Structure 1
């Protein structure tokens, strides 16, 4: 179903300067890039499905930004958004992804054998589907195709599908308690491993992107978590390819997702680790930056650490492969655990401060 762009046609009756949003108090990449001239240049353009500039920037206009995190402030409604509105997206992508240029090419590597193990991240990327759309234009047809595809998974990936509208309150609360369903849930599908009770492989449908694939487990078997993710993701992609809806991917952007921050791999490999001493060290933030890692609370991006337990994950998405990004997490967490042990003994870690990765 195409986007309804009737509102945009009407707005073109007004002058560009009358419609240009007030971004003076905004802290996001969109607000840094968008100018009155650029707005005027792009405001009458739309993708084949009807996605417009105002649709692209609406989230960044409505949400001025996070006080501590530089948010993106725009979304792509479909694959063509990144081409039609490239004058806006290209500088945002370059700013958000450390100088990634419009001519750069992304690397993809889903061979889990290439990972050198050492810790326990849980991989959770998003995926967009060609022939459908990201969440902003998905609708019932695309969701039905996703449901049928996921229900055809077999072996260790076979599981139960939970339609949001059909879940009982008890089922919904259990999924929230298991960290499988966001507090403000979108329709989802959860495909659980049949070999254990840990629900170690699941898929959300229409959460932020068309699909979000998650592999996770307790303990330190990083190799198994990443193997399950890679194999499961490739099986899902194969099913969608046969149905004529391959994942959106190109040489420049890698996997194409709704938010420019997730372009490339769309992967966040996170480890929950307790760092009571290191987290109080004056150079904790610098160490994370040098290791190309980021921290958040175990409850999500806007949560604080509880009991000095942090969710440590890769900061990069674009320009390096899945294996390379998870490897940074594995190696970085290992180093930080070693630092924590030294600090616990009252020893200095000055000689362990890493060079910039």
Structure 2
């Protein structure tokens, strides 16, 4: 939504400004002159909505958010639009069903966002600052997974940049400024880790596929994440292939390290080292990464608050996916397992990003993958796995 431009000043306006300002209504939404009904008339149909937004949002909560608007023009209907466009499936994993338009959204609509974050991540928000740990030496294991089952791994982390709206709401100008900042920071990073920045609009379809870039989905187009695609989108690739940085795709920044030998420790180290370097470079450019005291690092999705970290391993499994206790095991391990296009390959990753530190979340995946492999081996020999089921972590 566009920000309201200040009116042209006239002499009389300067003279009578105190009187004019006293007539400004306290409701900021009145500036937009939206033809909206009452909160009761505008409340969305959530009868078949399977997202956390659909489960949590009530008419009373909607009424409290209805007339609020962030400084950049984000209203509550902008926040919940993605959950209305993509209501989810009862049989599948529950998505958050909402996206923040800017960092202020997490403050202005906190009574809604806090409930969604707690429900999705299974962790209570408190006044304490979330724990953070980028010391990759604290990770135990991760470089010794059984290659007969572990095919590859990926560690990624997302970051939002202070003073800019998130992808659902930012303008072309903001997006281009973000690309300029990224180009400046990555040029300085190249002094230690050589690489090159590739604008998406200059890449062929084959090159995009090689970089694992997929065309924007219908939902991304409808919610504005892919607006003006591929303008001001870019991919930075290190010369040695150890790191990829995505600029202005789903978030402002996303660092990705992939290892074909499933060496999680090496991928995690690459992300930690280069993320801290970029954090220092962005601070130097006076646009630090967005941090909220009670939430940690925040980006557009509540599913990524806290650490923004995702560690995933591609596993080759034949027997375990059909076992009756699998979902119970995954819940206890606090990891998730998703199907891939190949019937025998499954992607195992951390279920949440908020609560534990970066090292602790990666450790959950390392330990969980090792246990899943042990269970698969037991099932291959027609053995039972009940004695291997862990207690709740």
Give the TM-score normalised by structure 2: 0.81
Query: What per-residue deviation string (whole Å, max 9, x for no partner) do you get for residues 35-62 of structure 1?
Result: 2222222111111111111111111122
* Cα pair distance change 1:102/1:47, threshold 3 Å: farther
**Which residue in 1 is equivalent to 2:156?**
124
* Cα pair distance change 1:266/1:2, threshold 3 Å: farther
1:329 pairs with one of 365, 372, 391: 365
Does the 8 A contact of 2:153 with 2:260 survive in 1? no
Q: Provide the rounded CA distance (Å) in 2 between the counterparts of 1:99 and 1:318.
A: 7
* Cα pair distance change 1:92/1:105, threshold 3 Å: same
Does the 8 A contact of 2:332 with 2:390 survive in 1? yes
2:237 pairs with one of 192, 200, 213: 192
Q: Provide the rounded CA distance (Å) in 2 between the counterparts of 1:242 and 1:282.
A: 53
Q: Provide the rounded CA distance (Å) in 1 between the counterparts of 2:79 and 2:31.
A: 12
* Cα pair distance change 1:9/1:38, threshold 3 Å: farther
* Cα pair distance change 1:324/1:214, threshold 3 Å: same
* Cα pair distance change 1:222/1:15, threshold 3 Å: closer
Shift of 1:87: 1.6
2:132 pairs with one of 96, 108, 122: 108
Q: Provide the rounded CA distance (Å) in 2 between the counterparts of 1:321 and 1:55.
A: 31
1:147 pairs with one of 183, 188, 196: 183
**Which residue in 1 is equivalent to 2:318?**
276
Does the 8 A contact of 2:120 with 2:352 survive in 1? no
Shift of 1:13: 5.2
**Equivalent residue runs for 1:257-272 within 5 Å:** 257-272=299-314
**Equivalent residue runs for 1:1-357 within 5 Å:** 9-11=32-34, 14-67=37-90, 68-118=92-142, 119=145, 121-136=153-168, 137=170, 138-154=174-190, 157-175=193-211, 179=212, 181-184=213-216, 187=230, 188-195=233-240, 199-297=241-339, 304=340, 306-357=342-393
RMSD over aligned CA atoms reads: 2.3
Mean Cα deviation higher: 131-140 or 210-219:
131-140
Q: Provide the rounded CA distance (Å) in 1 between the counterparts of 2:260 and 2:31.
A: 49
Q: Which runs of 4+ in 1 moved over 6 A?
A: 4-8
Q: Provide the rounded CA distance (Å) in 2 between the counterparts of 1:173 and 1:153.
A: 25
Does the 8 A contact of 1:109 with 1:323 survive in 2? yes
Query: What per-residue deviation string (whole Å, max 9, x for no partner) do you get for residues 145-169 of structure 1?
Result: 2222223322563212111222233
Matched positions, count: 344
Structure 2 segments unaligned to the other structure (5+ residues): 5-27, 146-151, 217-225
Does the 8 A contact of 1:312 with 1:333 survive in 2? yes
Does the 8 A contact of 1:123 with 1:214 survive in 2? yes
Looking at CA atoms only, which structure, 1 or 2, has the larger radius of gyration?
A: 2
Mean Cα deviation higher: 152-161 or 228-237:
152-161
Q: Provide the rounded CA distance (Å) in 1 between the counterparts of 2:102 and 2:123.
A: 24
Q: Provide the rounded CA distance (Å) in 2 between the counterparts of 1:59 and 1:294.
A: 22
Q: Provide the rounded CA distance (Å) in 1 between the counterparts of 2:114 and 2:371.
A: 35
Q: Provide the rounded CA distance (Å) in 2 between the counterparts of 1:276 and 1:8.
A: 59
Shift of 1:260: 0.6
Give the TM-score normalised by structure 1: 0.89
Structure 1 segments unaligned to the other structure (5+ residues): 298-303
**Which residue in 2 is equivalent to 1:300?**
none
Shift of 1:222: 2.2
